[in-house]
Structure 1
Amino acid sequence: MNKGFTLIEVLVALAIVAIIGVMSFAGLITTVKNNDITISRIDLMSKIVMADEILKRDLLHALDRIPRDERGESYGHSFYGLNPRFEGDLLAFSVHTGNNLTSKNGTIRFIRYTYEDESLKRIESNFVDKTEDTKEREQVLLKGVKNISIRFNQGNQWVEDWPLTEWTSNNGLPQVAEISYEVEGLGNVVRRYMLSFGDSL
């Protein structure tokens, strides 16, 4: 004759099922958290790649063209990096943006890269020379950026700012720009960019 389960056996079985359920739920939470971390890391990497491509494009198309301010006075140099004239800017230079010669905005723009509140920003002026009609468009490329630094190579010599000689004629463009920074959750990033119109190596 078959006997039914005792109360103790039922309670033990329920306890085992509960433990298995808790372990499964904990495993699910861990999986979800890991998935969130992976998605966040992929998103961060994609933003770094995008910022890298924009920097590469701008610097590759940098021009040895001296801009003018709103009074029509020359800036003196075509490329500035960590220079007091553009306080707070990492880079400031003219760039060729396309082949449309009939564009009312022109094909040469003035670009500035700034670092503010742990954010790397790109600011583009619609005209290379400042006028009362000049407008700027700001784009945040990266957030959570720390310890950013930049240096330039010219004639196999690295320098920390540009131009090399402030009070002389236009120094032109450096050959290479190196930018390094730390990104929260990723670590240190170091990138080097060639400038196509820089002096030959």
Structure 2
Amino acid sequence: MLRRRCKCDNGAKYTRAGGFTLIELLVALAVFATMAAMAWGGLDSIARTRSVLASEQDDLRSLMHALGMLERDLRAAVARPVHGNYGEDVPALIGGSDKLEFTRLGFANPAAEQRSNLQRIVYALDGARLVRGSYAVLDRAPNTRAAMRPLRDRVGALRLRYLDAQQRWLGAWPAPTNDGPSAALPRAIEIRIEVQGYGEITRTVELVSDFPAKFGVAAP
């Protein structure tokens, strides 16, 4: 605000207050609005970037969790065949190109129940979803079903291969020409999984073949 000094006819001096003009106010408001919009746009961009990064981190964490669980389960695999729903013999590990079933060691038992510390595990591709299943018992009754839960969405493909004792990669296990015992495990399993946004991820998991001798795992 401007103040101007004036002199009256009688010689007295007084001060007259002068304000901003309408144009000056409009210009000031326009400048303020522009700066506020720029500041808000910058903050909104930062917030959206942080949200996208957080979402991507959560997505990557979910993928690593799923792959890590599969690898841990396989490293704990044991040569323990089971009985199927109708009493048939089921190999310790049976797998195809996109499905895998095996027995693993380390079934937690915090309640000290009267049951084995072994568990039958299933991994499969259900549509575009990687799922993991587990059986409450090893040797199943006719109505025994695996409890399935999703591990990862947006999976385009799951490809599994099995390394035998002759260092050959097979598309199924046990091999159709395998005359060995059903308790045998492959030397390693190659996992190839296609995930939207990440492409194809490959993992090779070596199985521990001496679990039966070390832990007394025996066939039923």
Query: TM-score interval w.r.t. the shorter chain?
Result: 0.7 to 0.9
Q: Does residue 198 of structure 2 align to residue 183 of structure 1? A: no
1:33 corresponds to which of 35, 38, 48: 48
Partners of 2:199 and 2:34 in 1: how far apart? Answer: 39
- Superposed counterparts of 1:5-84, under 5 Å: 5-75=20-90, 77-82=91-96
Superposition misfits of 4+ residues, deviation over 6 angstroms: none
Matched residues, number = 192
What's the secondary structure of 2:32's corresponding residue? helix
* 2:103 partner letter: S
Aligned CA distance change for structure 1 residues 185 and 37 (closer, same or farther; 3 Å): farther
Once the two structures are superposed, residues 160-189 of structure 1 have per-residue CA deviations (whole angstroms, 9 ceiling, x without a partner) of: 222222573436211221222233334432
Paired residues for 1:138-153 under 5 Å: 138-153=148-163
State how far apart, in whole Å, the 1-side matches of 2:51 and 2:181 are: 50
Judged with a 3 Å threshold, the aligned counterparts in structure 2 of structure 1 residues 60 and 27 are, in CA distance, closer, same or farther, namely: same
Q: By how many angstroms is 1:92 displaced?
A: 0.7
1:90 and 2:99 matched = yes
Point out where structure 2 has 5 or more consecutive residues left out of the alignment.
5-16, 211-220
Superposed CA deviations along residues 12-64 of structure 1, whole A, max 9, x for unmatched, are 22111111111222222211211111111121122222212211221111111
Deviation track 1:116-151 (CA, whole Å, cap 9, x = no partner) reads: 131111110011111257453222111121122222
TM-score (norm 1): 0.82
State the alpha-carbon separation in 2 of the partners of residues 156 and 8 from structure 1.
86
- Structure-1 separation of matches of 2:115 and 2:162: 30
Instruction: Give how far 1:3 is off.
Output: 4.9
- 5+ residue gaps, structure 1, are 84-88
Distance (whole Å) between structure 1 residues aligned to residue 41 and residue 131 of structure 2: 41
Structure with larger Rg: 2
Q: Is the 1:81–1:163 contact (alpha carbons within 8 Å) kept by the matching residues of 2?
A: yes
> Residue 138 of structure 2 corresponds to which residue in structure 1?
128
RMSD, aligned α-carbons: 2.6
> Which of 160, 185, 189 is equivalent to 1:173?
185
